[in-house]
Amino acid sequence: MRSVTIFGATGSVGEAALALIAHDPARWQVDTLTANTNAKRLAELAGQCGARHVVICDESKRDELVQALAGTGVEVSAGRAALVEAASRPVEVTLAAIVGAAGLLPTLRAAERGGIIAIANKEALVCAGPLILAAAARSGARLLPVDSEHNAIFQVFDFERPERVARIILTASGGPFRQMSTEDMRSVTPEQAVAHPVWSMGAKISVDSATLMNKGLEMIEAERLFPIAEPQIDIVVHPQSIVHSFVEYVDGSLLAQLGTPDMKTPIAYAMAYPDRIETPAEKLDMIAAAKLTFEAADERRFPALRLARAALRAGGSSPVVLNASNEVAVERFLDRRIGFLDIPALCEETLAAVGNCPAGHLDEVVDCDARARSVAARIADEWEKRA
């Protein structure tokens, strides 16, 4: 039996993990589940998996959660401090599945405490990868990527001979606008952007997949997780999302991990590591899949790729600012306050306006994130006034 805590239990990744737990409940003891605002769903999930403790970030939902769990013995906490505190409770596996930089503090706290950190929350790695890695090195925590591309790379990467890796190649589905002209992208709606052709995911990452910012963030995530440098990270568009990424070795061997596009497989790999467990994910039928295609990624139509690579190269606070401005931009796009093409444009303007701020220590990262958000909001407000 393994004890597990899930940060972001009500999300797409959190729910997929809970489906895995329900598939073989004898294997898992759920300690804590967390959610931002959805008290009703959090209470249901806690009841189903027998969680001991739940945390709701939105304090105004505390009473609703307490009522929903009355008589069950499940301990209820509320607020952001409680969220971070929950990461100090001893468990063997922590699934970091909050979306956005909001997941940074609990993820970092869990890395300080130890155990397996199954990390889906790529934004935390983008903003504070070195801090999370250093904390894990001190505590002995094992960071295991849940993001399907990084999980694939992890499975085929020769960590004993990293110098024999020529490059890693992240596969990208290309998103819903893979073949669309820039002109047509100008008027796409949030509904079109979140309708991903292959993966079913939360709204923010779905929009990121449409702009390809998701792949940009994943380049930065890869540089944090693997002993490789920016020039060794490539991207190839693979619309079927069956090859989850490649590692190319100096001898010309290309190693890959394949499977149906179902997050339950990488989540299971990280949660059960180093064991492998049976999952309800559909097995890959190669004959039915028949055709795997690959094409170049187009940085002109998808400028987020260029911005992310530049931010990775620049280092320092650039990834923090890129991520924060993108979070602001995606939220405004989903609220129909800016257009689809404004998302990378807002990131680019914010990066230029903020310039470099110190981002080595945690409080500097937090300050830089806040500063970038307010600059991005101010620029977007000006756009709205002008429109």
| Dihedral sign from CA coordinates of 251, 276, 294, 343 | negative
Among positions 165-224, residues that touch Mg ion (CB under 5 A) are none
Chain-centroid distance of CA 287 in Å reads 31
Among positions 145-164, residues that touch ligand NAD (CB under 6 A) are 147
Q: Is 123 annotated as a binding residue?
A: yes
Euclidean distance between CA atoms 148 and 129, whole angstroms: 18
**Cβ 82 to Mg ion shortest distance, Å:** 29
Taking the least distance from each CB to ligand NAD, the nearer of 61 and 113 is: 61
| Beta-sheet strand order (sheet of 243-249) | 254-258, 243-249, 165-172, 233-237, 295-296
Q: Is 37 annotated as a binding residue?
A: no
Q: Is 163 annotated as a binding residue?
A: no
Figure out which of the listed residues 95, 205, 213, 379 binds ligand NAD, where binding follows CB under 6 A: 205
98 binds, among Mg ion, ligand NAD, none (CB under 5 to 8 A by kind): ligand NAD
Taking the least distance from each CB to Mg ion, the nearer of 100 and 115 is: 100
Instruction: Note the helical H segments in the chain.
Output: 12-23, 39-49, 62-68, 80-86, 104-113, 122-139, 148-156, 182-185, 190-194, 203-211, 213-225, 264-272, 286-289, 303-314, 318-334, 342-354, 362-386
> Counting contacts by CB under 6 A, is residue 122 touching ligand NAD?
yes
35 binds, among ligand NAD, Mg ion, none (CB under 5 to 8 A by kind): ligand NAD
Among positions 44-63, residues that touch ligand NAD (CB under 6 A) are 57
Taking the least distance from each CB to Mg ion, the nearer of 36 and 151 is: 151
Stretch that binds ligand NAD, among 187-195, 196-204, 312-320, 327-335 (CB under 6 A): 196-204
Count of residues near ligand NAD by CB under 6 A: 26
Question: What's the token pair of residue 209?
Answer: 């997949």
CB 195 within 8 A of CB 176: yes
Question: What's the token pair of residue 138?
Answer: 């001190």
Q: Is 121 annotated as a binding residue?
A: yes
CB 215 within 8 A of CB 221: no
Write down how long the chain is.
Answer: 387
Question: What's the token pair of residue 250?
Answer: 């100096």
Euclidean distance between CA atoms 373 and 385, whole angstroms: 18
Taking the least distance from each CB to ligand NAD, the nearer of 98 and 233 is: 98
> Counting contacts by CB under 6 A, is residue 175 touching ligand NAD?
no
CB 135 within 8 A of CB 105: no
Figure out which of the listed residues 5, 36, 77, 209 binds ligand NAD, where binding follows CB under 6 A: 36
Q: Is 187 annotated as a binding residue?
A: no
∠ CA 277-255-246, nearest 5°, is: 90
Figure out which of the listed residues 105, 111, 127, 147 binds Mg ion, where binding follows CB under 5 A: 147
How many angstroms separate the first and last alpha carbons of the chain?
58
Figure out which of the listed residues 4, 9, 46, 169 binds ligand NAD, where binding follows CB under 6 A: 9
> Counting contacts by CB under 6 A, is residue 169 touching ligand NAD?
no
Place of tokens 């890796």: 165
CB 378 within 8 A of CB 360: no
**Cβ 200 to Mg ion shortest distance, Å:** 13
Greatest C-alpha distance within the chain:
62
12 binds, among Mg ion, ligand NAD, none (CB under 5 to 8 A by kind): ligand NAD
Q: Is 283 annotated as a binding residue?
A: no
Among positions 96-115, residues that touch ligand NAD (CB under 6 A) are 97-100, 102
Stretch that binds Mg ion, among 27-35, 141-149, 241-249, 341-349 (CB under 5 A): 141-149
Three-state DSSP at 96 gives strand
**Cβ 63 to ligand NAD shortest distance, Å:** 18
Q: Is 151 annotated as a binding residue?
A: no
Q: Which residues form the interface with ligand NAD (CB under 6 A)?
A: 8-14, 35-36, 57, 97-100, 102, 120-123, 147, 199, 201-202, 204-205, 263
Q: Which residues form the interface with Mg ion (CB under 5 A)?
A: 147-149
Which residues contribute to the annotated binding site for NADPH?
10-13, 38, 121, 123, 202
